Structure 1
Amino acid sequence: GELATNLAHSLDLIQQAVARGAKLVVLPELASSGYVFKSREEAFAASETIPGGPAVTAWSEIAAEHGLHLVAGICERDGAKLYNSAVLIGPKGYIGTFRKVHLWNEENLYFEPGNLGFPVYHTEIGRIGMAICYDGWFPESYRLNALQGADIVCVPTNWVPIPGQVPGREAMANILAMAAAHSNSIFIACADRVGVERGQPFEGQSLIVSYTGWPVAGPASRDKEEIVIADVALGEARRARNWNAFNQVLRDRRSDVYDEMLGSEVKRGWY
């Protein structure tokens, strides 16, 4: 709920990342508002419209200043509806929005399920898709991005501990991200938060995963704020999809045996 403070802190972190050479920055889920709401009224008060709200305006200004692409989680207001959303911003301003498709726990009290699908945006640095937190538990989220040509999926997230997790074991979300990157030949960049909000602990462990499935940065700390940076060539995700003389992970799908996911508006031969 400390909107101005959170926004100022995000801008400071973006500046730090830019100073280290970042060209694409990913911030956590609901980065400007916080996550644990007490009521829908509180969530509504912490929301803003896209793209005209204060956070998107400030993020657009810093992106323009540094020639930056930026993905950030935000509490979006659209009329009387609220969405747990992510915005993609480039050097020329706002590019597009993703609305979280799979709502987690009490998010169902405040937010509408996302209704924009999994859009992939063509940018100067590559094809960028988005997902948010619990979306990563569904293989379809990453597959639909990959089928639409995504080079990287940016994941603002607020991961929480999972039942059965052994103390000290890496986050389940890390394992899922690695598997999805490998099985779709895409980069995945997950930005999580640390600390405790209103009694809810968060897992941290932000990471950037190569199309090979192996992390190229992170996992970050579980309990300390940290920026993870990797130098990657996004085009490699498409260039290296042929694993050997016979196998290409997207081409080898047997859509004669299982569903083509026609709702993704994917046409055969796109990839």
Structure 2
Amino acid sequence: MSRRSSVLWKIFTIEDQVKNLARCDICRQLFSYKTSISNLKKHLLKKHPTVQILDNVIRYDPEQIQEHQNDPSSDITTEDIQELDEEKCEILEQRKVHRNRKRSPLWNIFIQKSNNSKVAICKICKKELCYNSTTTNLHKHLKRKHPNVILKDEEEINKEENRSRSPSRSPLPNSTFEVYVEAPDQDHQYVTVELPGSTFSSLMDPIEVPSLVPISVADNIHLKEENYKRRQLPHIDDIIRKLNIEDQQQIKQLLYGTNYEVLKLPTTIVQQVRNLRFELASYKFLSAPEQVRTPRLIRLAALQITLPLPTSTPIIEMRKAIHDRAAEAIEIASQVNVNIFCLQELWTSPFFLCTGEKYPWCEYAEPAESGPTTEFLKELAKKYNMVIISPILERDELHNDTVWNTAVVIDNHGDVLGKHRKNHISRVTGFNESTYYNEGNTGHPVFQTDFGRIAINISHGRHHPLNWMMFGINGAEIVFNPSVEAGAESELLWNIESRCAAMNNSFFTCAINRVGTEKFPKEKFGHLYGSTYVTAPDGTRTPGLSRTRDGILITEFDLNMCRRARDFWGFQTTRRLDLYAESFAKVAKLDYQPQIIKK
């Protein structure tokens, strides 16, 4: 039998007979075939393994080859089939080896732009890079632009995730648990169902259960263990990063606004922060230059931390450990020229208010002007030329040892500029803060510093719009809101209230929260969801810090933005203080009658 023309020429076209060049009709790529066509076969099997040629179908599985071999009209010869089978086996073996090859940890940092492209996108800076047949270009980019990034392969990441999860769980007892769930098939109606212990264990694993979504769990002694809590989402941006670049930009614009950008810090600082186990985020609010006034640029820093030691640690030892942790953060802030540094509410102690117990917890209270915490921070403020806001539990020894929830303001010269006591006290279900201290008696003071006029709206005062407004009326340009917040109900409000206050009053706000879960002998309080953020007067805000990690948020902005926001919105000219002053005077009287018009 005479040798027939290879079926490959159904796919390739001779481009140049002199130079022996053939072009693939599928991808238009040129190949040299010279004395044999093995080069063309390799290309076809490697790049187009699923190619079919109707009438003369070539599909490399035994059944199809047998069909064509038995078909007298087929152009495929026995020799062709044997050659192609050999080539295919060789290529498939190469593919098998390639599949078993360990995936480069680079692809945890880069994503391929599209399936067939040789362009990768850096997840950190969003830059597009060509990588051709090797990833050398990606390695160079990482080394040059992100020298502090540590490459970890999937095996390492999985090990870390397993370590971060709770250790082996003891099996739940053979009892039922009431679980409050959302039933998607019933128009999102909430129902209570009973689950056996084994089913409940699987439900609490970090696995999506399609039919039942846990919302809350009835109180049960076995669920007090941290082992049975669901993993917390570290960061909303972890979800956003799963979108393509264009969608990421649109989502961030809707969530945060457009007038901000990442503030670049020295790589040495980034590495130092990493070694100290802090998350570091830095942003800059953008503002247009003015013709008359010079910019009043400042940098502020906000700190959120977990307790470094168990709540049962002796008070002096605990306070020292917390001081040391804060000192690390303040030193970092000083290296990037931060002007104002604010700590979280009652930062020198566990948040013991949830226990309802007095001792030993009341021993954390200390004098505002001369206590150990203030003396400690005065040295740092002077050393680093930094204003420091220190929200502590104050013991007023001159007035019958009264206890207050107080923010002490230490100026950049190391002097106590003043203090403000919390105006509004939480009385929500679970615990009552008035068990420990009274409502504040300091009004709405604004502190004139070398870096602008600042005020502190402590914790629960965030829920009261008039509290914010009075700080603004008294001239505040930045209002800090140090807090201790936990729970889904609170988190719904967290991202709204401080942001609204900034827009309504034309000043900057900085909302600061704790992070973690604090365990006490009879109670535990959490999850404290962190998420510290800053808002500009125009409503633009920074992304929040982590919901699960210690973090430092650094923000740079121009205080002149306050006046520009007032000029744009004109809220100060439309708020009608006289109208509301008269109305409030009437409401405050016992014989007040609501203004209701009836038929």
Q: Shorter-chain TM-score: which interval?
A: 0.7 to 0.9
Decide which moves more: 226-235 or 143-152. Answer: 226-235
Q: Which has the larger radius of gyration?
A: 2
Equivalent pair of 2:390/2:409 in contact (CA under 8 Å): yes
Give distance in 2, aligned partners of 1:251 and 1:87: 33
**Alignment partner, residue 267 of structure 1:** none
1:254 alignment partner in structure 2: 576
Which residue of 522, 546, 553 corresponds with 1:228? 553
Answer 1 or 2: which has greater helix percent: 2
Which runs of 5 or more structure 1 residues have no equivalent in the other structure? Answer: 264-271
Query: How far 1:256 sits from its partner (Å)?
Result: 3.5
Structure 2 CA distance for aligned equivalents of residues 149 and 222 of structure 1: 32
Find out whether 1:71 has 2:397 as its counterpart: no
1:1-271 superposed matches below 5 A: 1=315, 2-37=318-353, 38=355, 39-79=357-397, 80-92=401-413, 93-105=415-427, 106-163=432-489, 171-198=492-519, 199-201=524-526, 202-215=528-541, 217-243=542-568, 247-259=569-581
8 Å CA contact 2:532–2:553 kept in 1: the answer is yes
Match of 1:268 in 2: none
Provide the C-alpha distance between the structure 2 equivalents of 1:234 and 1:41, rounded to a whole number of angstroms.
Answer: 44
Greater relative contact order (Cα < 8 A, sep 6+): 1
Give the secondary structure class of the aligned counterpart of 1:16.
helix
Give the Å deviation of 1:236.
Answer: 2.2
Identity %: 27
The offset of 1:260, in angstroms, is: 7.3
1:172 is displaced (CA, Å) by 1.4
Q: Is the 8 A contact 2:538 2:565 kept in 1?
A: no
- Secondary structure of the 1:113 match is coil
Equivalent-residue separation in structure 2 for 1:261 and 1:5 (angstroms): 50
Task: Give the residue type in structure 2 aligned to 1:116.
Answer: T
**Does the 8 Å CA contact 1:151/1:237 hold for their aligned counterparts?**
yes
TM-score (norm 1): 0.88
Q: Residues 368 and 406 of structure 2 are in contact (CA less than 8 Å); yes or no, is this contact kept in structure 1?
A: no
The amino acid that maps onto 1:101 is N
Give the structure-2-normalised TM-score: 0.41
SS in 2 for 1:111: coil
* Equivalent pair of 1:33/1:46 in contact (CA under 8 Å): yes
**How far does residue 122 in structure 1 lie from its aligned partner after superposition?**
1.0
* Cα distance between partner residues in 2 of 1:162 and 1:115: 31
SS of the aligned residue for 1:63 comes to: helix
CA RMSD of aligned residues (A): 2.0
**1:69 counterpart letter in structure 2:** V
Residue 162 (structure 1) shift: 4.1
- Secondary structure, aligned partner of 1:220: coil
**What are the superposed Cα offsets for residues 69-101 of structure 1, whole Å, 9 maximum, x if unpaired?**
111210100022111111111112211111111
Unpaired runs of 5+ residues, structure 2, are 1-314, 586-599
